[in-house]
């Protein structure tokens, strides 16, 4: 699924996977979200609603640049450090082609559907 992403006004390459949760996420677009740090590992933001997690892929540990959804809290997580062990609560939605440094300093993200 094609999306356009800007971090603090700078465009970055991004892709979404084809999971039901990723498709549900794209239904929320366009979104502009303020990001805050979480555990010096990820930037997080609250979504306007919880995503459909039925049919979620097998759990995988998040890697730098991953776009993920943390189901218990209903928030978006952007990893600038590799994440912890795989968890069924963390659903990988896609990936940003961005440096860990740029992502770790980001304060705002805009995500739009690609035309």
Each domain of the chain, given as residue ranges in start order, spans 3-113
- Please state, in angstroms and as integers, the Cα–Cα distance from residue 30 to each residue in 82, 98, 113, following that order: 27, 20, 7
Asked if 3 contacts 14 with a C-beta cutoff of 8 angstroms, the reply is yes
**Beta-bridge mates of residue 34:** 108
Average pLDDT over residues 48-57: 92
| pLDDT number for residue 57 | 85
Locate tokens 């959804």: which residue?
69
pTM (2 d.p.): 0.95
Tell me the pLDDT band of 55, cut-offs 50, 70 and 90.
Answer: confident
CATH 3.40.50.410 applies to domain 3-113: no
Give residue 58's pLDDT band: very low, low, confident or very high (50, 70, 90).
Answer: confident
The percentage of residues in the chain with a pLDDT greater than 70, rounded to a whole number, is 99
């Amino acid at each position: 699924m094609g999306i356009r992403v800007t971090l603090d006004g700078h465009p970055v390459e991004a892709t979404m996977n084809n999971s039901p949760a990723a498709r549900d996420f794209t239904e929320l677009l366009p979104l502009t979200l303020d990001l805050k740090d979480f555990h010096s590992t990820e930037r997080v933001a609250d979504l306007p609603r919880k995503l459909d997690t039925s049919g979620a892929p097998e759990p995988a540990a998040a890697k730098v640049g991953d776009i993920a959804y943390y189901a218990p809290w209903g928030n978006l997580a952007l990893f600038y450090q590799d994440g912890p062990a795989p968890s069924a609560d963390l659903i990988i939605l896609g990936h940003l082609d961005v440096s860990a440094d740029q992502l770790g300093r980001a304060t705002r993200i805009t995500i739009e559907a690609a035309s």
